[in-house]
Chains A and B, each alone.
Chain A
Amino acid sequence: MQRRTFLTLAAWLVGTTSLTRATVIHNRVPWAPHPNSAPEMVRPGPWQFFTLDEARAMEAIVDRIIPPDPETPGGKIAGCAVFIDRQLKGPYGSNQGHYTLGPHTKGTQEQGPQSALTHAELYRNALAALDKHCKSTQAGKSFAELEAAAQDDVLRKLESGEVKFETVDAKGFFSALLKDVPEGFFADPIHGGNIDMVGWKMIGFPGIRYDYRDWVNRHNERYPHPPVSIAGRADWTPAKS
């Protein structure tokens, strides 16, 4: 093996694994906690990936994918755009861990996605194209400025393939939205979406309550307790004075 390969490898490992040393385990268990094992909490605050215009469009989009209703907030209040913002800023956005070497050749559908674009690039390009499309067809208005019915109409045309973008696969962008927005609605709130566990409350998912031994044999009885997140529950956590 050539030295150049080793240098590339070493750089790759430093960048992608939490344990960069190989360890020898003999006569003991290495009990030191995995240094990066605890989850990272998403904090509220400014947009980290989206520009203000992109964020406005995304908040409108997530509220059409999951609209508000009288009982449950929609995607915007639930934090789905914040969730996607933090995901795109992080390893998901840069396709970390994926196989990214070329050549990038389009194959059959069953061979899976082969695009050279990262998720972050997909969103950046598609949101720019969406903005351009809306302004040219909707009397200069951006997606966020449209009425809900008109927004739905645009999204339906992306879904069906009727609207195509020049720079990026519009239908592929819509598929990404259908995956990413519900993730933001149902993932643990520590990732920035599902604020106040609204997605879990809607369906009756108790979160990470962990022990159901008292309920496994209570057949056809609705589990009564409200959800718990990895960060606990607000009403369990005393407020700082």
Chain B
Amino acid sequence: MARKLPRKDVVIVGLGWTGSIMAYELADAGLDLIAIERGPWRNTATDYPPGYAADELRYRIRHELFLSPSQTTFTFRHKMSEAALPIRSWGAFMPPNGVGGGGVHWNAETWRFLPSDFVLKTHLTERYGVNFLPEDMTIQDWGVTYDELEPHYDKFEYLCGTSGQAGNIKGTIMDGGNPFEGPRARAYPNPPQDQPFGHALFGKAARDLGYKPFPQPSGNMSRPYQNPLGVRLGPCTYCGFCEWFGCGNYSKASPQTTVLPALVRKPNFTARDNSEVTRINVDSSGKRATGVTFVDAAGDEWEQPADLVVLSAYTIFNVQLLLLSGIGKAYDPAANTGVIGRNFTHQTTSDVVSFFDPAKFVFNPFIASGAIGMCIDEFNGDNFDHGPHGFVGGGYMGHVQTNGRPIETTPVPPGTPLWGAAWKKAVKENYQSAIKPGTGVHGSMYSYRDVYVDLDPAYKDRFNRPLVRITMDFHDNEIKQNKFLTDKFAEIFQAMGAKQVHKEYRKAPYDITKYQTTHLCGGAIMGSDPTTSALNRFLQSWDVPNLFVLGASAFPQNAGYNPTGTVAALAYWTADAIRSKYLKNPGQLINA
């Protein structure tokens, strides 16, 4: 029997980016709140000091900062007819763990989605006609527009001290920025980071080909910065240990370096770490959440009552908690009914590995940051006419080389033996003169009727709860998109003077062992129709109005960008709705 804790105004499940942002905003509004986090508390100073944070084996290869599959994992299959098997060690994606969540070990690539991304179904149907879309594609409009989110994107960028070059300020196209981005109210708070040799070369080649390259918006500081909460960040040193690592230099935006120092000073905020929420409790009507149940590290079970529940775990764990708590109708792809688990998506990334003459090119690939790079956006979203190509979607592409760490980044030309003297010689010859971008083609993956998550009938986690089962494969649309984008990307490296360009297309079937990104999306999506979405446009559950579900689980489909900027903007958008609307009149904000 769970012991009951004193009631709180709000309980927040998961203290990553969205949980921290929401906690700060609601604490600022005077609410008494508690955040419950499955993993440990993490400090910049004590957990990843620069003296040993740069350990490729420990963090990149052995995944120390991540959730371990022994805690919980997922099962995977391509099709409903296949048997799903557990992911025993991480491959295609890696769920975060601990205070700060993925915000600790992300690259800090900080994008806004395109205005058309938020009205995708409407936009594509109007431009190409409804018959242009594949029959089983289930894309939807978000229910929120770019213009509505703009102030919230801005707020996140200024929280983080994002380094970048604006491309569109209030409708005026700015030289050197991304001309395709939606209008922004003001410039980024910091100028772009300096560009190493390879990135500068990519920018020149792209310009020569007629594109408009721009530096990637980055949460790595180009100069010292103090954010609006009074928290200070230091300048990035280009050490090349961002992605998968914690930044010990206080120069990568994370919850620890931007919001938590201000949040922990709020007397009405409490956090519990090493405690896993196992379900959301609802009253007998099923229409009202009464709090959550969690298990602490000693194995003791507790009930935390609260008036408002904010679910802000990683994408797929949000969906799992909804399914295990019986909130919302589970999606059934055969009948095409239900909402929890539908429109699950990942990503369609690919790369181009390029080999240059070692006598003429020295790239020093270890001089890097998580989000350093030159990008083009000509082939993202609907920035180009898809009519002749027979697919929809796209992605940004760029030379975003985040590291030269030698276990991961020792490319050799195709055809080289995998071991022995020839391999060793090729590694030595090419290390300084090869380019293997960390982000190459960062493509969208749209939603389909047969790509979804539900509860696995066979495999259980350590609490004896069913694992989440992923049913996912790439469809022809995504394969065509990736082929087109990868070919365009390769042309730029040819123009840079590469002697050999190797295209690594993303191919079907979907491979759970090959890392792409941790950008899983969907499963508890937002929308304007309760029969096809779990949440309304304020990320409020249609079924349980005192439950809000943050994160990329709300994306109806994935766009061709990294999600964190949009995830955070939505968190601010929801916080604003709670503060300005819900608290005055607690209940369903939208009457469907």
Contact = CB atoms under 8 A, between A and B. Distances in A.
Q: Do A and B bind each other?
A: yes
Contacts of B55: 39, 188, 190, 208, 230
Interface residues of B, number: 98
6 contacts: A5-B464, A19-B41, A27-B265, A107-B83, A213-B235, A220-B362
A183 B194 contact: no
Interface string B409-445: 0100000001111011101100110000000000000
Interface string B275-307: 100100000000000000001111111000000
A101 B47 contact: no
Given A27-B265, A65-B420, A113 B88 contact: yes
B255 to A, nearest CB: 12
Contact of A66 (B47, B50, B424): B424
A21 interface: yes
A105 to B, nearest CB: 6
Contact of B83 (A24, A105, A159, A200): A105
A130 to B, nearest CB: 16
A206 B42 CA distance: 28
Interface in B167-203: 194-197, 200
B406 A21 contact: no
Given A23-B41, A65-B419, A69-B424, A210 B364 contact: no
A112 B513 contact: yes
A155 B419 CA distance: 10
A65 B200 CA distance: 36
Interface in B1-58: 40-43, 45-48, 50-52, 54-58
A128 B410 CA distance: 32
A100 B50 CA distance: 34
B459 A101 contact: yes
A228 to B, nearest CB: 10
- 10 closest residue pairs by CB, A with B: A97-B68, A6-B299, A203-B431, A208-B54, A219-B197, A22-B296, A99-B69, A211-B237, A186-B406, A187-B57
A20 interface: yes
A111 B238 CA distance: 36
Interface stretch (B266-274, B314-322, B327-335): B266-274
A67 B420 contact: yes
Nearest to A37: B47
B274 A96 contact: no
A211 B239 contact: yes
A85 to B, nearest CB: 15
Dominant secondary structure of chain B at its interface with chain A: loop
A217 interface: yes
A9 B361 contact: no
A69 B181 CA distance: 52
Interface stretch (B207-215, B504-512, B561-569): B504-512
Interface string A99-117: 1110101011111111000
Interface in A205-236: 205-213, 215-217, 219-223, 230
Interface stretch (B73-81, B104-112, B129-137, B380-388): B73-81
A181 B299 CA distance: 39
A176 interface: no
A98 to B, nearest CB: 5
B499 interface: no
A66 B86 CA distance: 34
Interface string A16-51: 111111111111111111100111000000000000
Contacts of A92: 62
B364 A215 contact: yes
A202 interface: yes
A210 to B, nearest CB: 5
B27 to A, nearest CB: 12
B194 A23 contact: no
Scoring B76, B367, B510 by chain A CB atoms within 10 A of each residue's CB, the highest score goes to: B367
A204 interface: yes
Given A12-B462, A26-B270, A210-B50, A98 B40 contact: no
Contact of B40 (A34, A72, A91, A200): A34
A205 B406 contact: yes
B458 interface: yes
Given A26-B269, A221-B362, 15 more contacts: A1-B463, A12-B70, A19-B40, A24-B272, A29-B261, A37-B46, A64-B419, A64-B420, A98-B88, A107-B85, A111-B85, A178-B419, A208-B241, A210-B237, A212-B240
